[in-house]
């Protein structure tokens, strides 16, 4: 099922959720995730890839929404609330994409508040609040209003 101009529902949920809920899997996906992906797609003007499990030979399935008991990623990851997404901007270097999003996230819009650094070949953006105290202490982690999640 198409969820925006360039994205299908299968691209943002895992195989188990889609198998169980079919088109009702849309319940698990936030408007933020759909609109952010489409906005990134429009901004870069090239395809953006999230999950690939539904394609021949594809094995990526936890890059959009993750079920609460997902074996992959942090236990309290915002992927579980569909407020974080991993993606490849096809044909673009992930560092270039990272820098471009930091520079223009307000223009890309839709409350991208976090971005992960140090990813290789892919990018992660999210929409979570950062408490002001943390911001005061760790100002170096903010760049042009975006909170940088450092990958270790
Ligand atoms: Zn992620």
Q: Would 13 be classed as within a structural domain?
A: yes
- In the reported structure, the alpha carbon of residue 118 is separated from the centroid of ligand 1 by a whole-number distance in angstroms of 12
User: What is the CATH number for 73?
Assistant: 3.30.1380
Q: Would 4 be classed as within a structural domain?
A: no
Question: If residue 97 lies in a helix (H) or strand (E), which one and from where to where?
Answer: helix 94-108
Residue 115: both structure tokens together: 């971005």
| CB 41 within 8 Å of CB 29 | no
- In the reported structure, the alpha carbon of residue 97 is separated from the centroid of ligand 1 by a whole-number distance in angstroms of 15
Mean pLDDT of 107-119: 90
Q: pLDDT, tens digit, for every residue of 18-73?
A: 999 999 999 999 999 999 999 999 999 999 999 999 999 999 999 999 999 998 99
- In the reported structure, the alpha carbon of residue 38 is separated from the centroid of ligand 1 by a whole-number distance in angstroms of 17
**CA 118 to mean position of chain CA atoms:** 15
Q: How far apart are CA 59 and CA 113, in angstroms?
A: 28
**pLDDT class for 117, splitting at 50, 70, 90?**
very high
- In the reported structure, the alpha carbon of residue 2 is separated from the centroid of ligand 1 by a whole-number distance in angstroms of 22
Q: pLDDT, tens digit, for every residue of 67-83?
A: 999 989 999 999 999 99
Question: Domain span at residue 40?
Answer: 9-150
For the chain, the domain total comes to 1
């Amino acid at each position: 099922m198409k969820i925006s101009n360039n994205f299908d529902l299968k691209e943002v949920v895992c195989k188990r959720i889609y198998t169980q809920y079919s088109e009702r899997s849309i319940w698990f996906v936030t408007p933020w995730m759909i609109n952010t992906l489409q906005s990134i797609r429009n901004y870069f003007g090239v395809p953006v890839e999230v999950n690939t499990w539904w394609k021949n030979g594809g094995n990526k399935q936890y890059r959009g929404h993750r079920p609460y008991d997902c074996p992959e990623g942090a236990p309290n990851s915002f992927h579980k609330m569909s407020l974080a997404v991993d993606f490849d901007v096809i044909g673009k270097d992930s560092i270039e994409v990272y820098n471009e999003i930091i520079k223009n996230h307000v223009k890309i819009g839709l409350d991208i508040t976090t971005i992960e650094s140090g990813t290789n070949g892919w990018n992660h953006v999210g929409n979570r609040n950062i408490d002001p105290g943390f911001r005061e202490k760790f100002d170096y982690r903010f760049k042009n209003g975006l909170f940088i999640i450092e990958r270790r």
